[in-house]
Amino acid sequence: MADLIPIPTSRYYVEFDGLTDKLIKSVSEVTFTGQTAGHEKPLASTKGGKTLWQSTSSGFEENPNVTVEVYVTEGDMDFYNWMLNTMPKSEGGQGKWSSNRKNGSIVAYDSEDTEVIRWNLINCWIKSYKVSDFNSESKDLAVETYEIIAEQINRIK
């Protein structure tokens, strides 16, 4: 059996089509939750009084998503502009949702800078945005947080 080597959570990168070389603070909540059908009540009763139950997958409760925090840097509005491009015109965006979905990857590296894990994210768009608080007493750097929806997330490594 191969040696099991833990992967550090501090060695990673995130990129999307056209959005590379960004200062990514964190990636969190790579989540997708399946839903089931048929488990709410018995399917049938059979010989000997045995009750049959059936539970089957019925897709996702909602699309897979990931939350990405990006350090705010002067002049870089790429993630924000991506969000504006996919927002409806009625909400102040460009209304070009279907043509602005992007593919991306989350990559984790081991302590020798070798790629060891990769998730590919398919047809993504930004669902929500927030910017960190500004406070005269703070020592933190400004961060933008994006919740990104994907049609599909595949772990390929």
What's the CA gap between 138 and 128, in Å, rounded? 24
pLDDT class for 118, splitting at 50, 70, 90? very high
pLDDT per residue as tens digits for the range 73-113: 999 999 999 999 999 999 888 999 889 999 999 999 998 89
DSSP label at 110? -
Out of 17-21, 51-55, 62-66, which region has the weakest mean confidence (pLDDT)?
51-55
What is the radius of gyration, based on Cα positions, of the chain? 21
Burial status of residue 16 (CB atoms within 10 A of its CB: 0-12, 13-18, 19 or more): buried
Contact 117, 108 (CB under 8 A): yes
pLDDT per residue as tens digits for the range 10-39: 999 999 999 999 999 999 878 777 766 766
pLDDT class for 1, splitting at 50, 70, 90? low
pTM: 0.80
Percentage, residues of the chain above pLDDT 90: 62
What's the mean pLDDT in 130-153?
Answer: 94
pLDDT of residue 3: 83
Is the pLDDT assigned to residue 58 strictly greater than 70? no
pLDDT class for 57, splitting at 50, 70, 90? low
Contact 112, 105 (CB under 8 A): no
What's the CA gap between 103 and 100, in Å, rounded? 10
144-153 b/e (C-beta count within 10 Å ≥ 16 → b):
bbbebbbeeb
pLDDT of residue 33: 73
What's the CA gap between 135 and 118, in Å, rounded? 37
Comparing CA positions, the residue from 62, 69, 10 lying closest to residue 31 is: 62
**What is each CA distance from 134 to 128, 131, 140, in whole angstroms?**
19, 9, 9
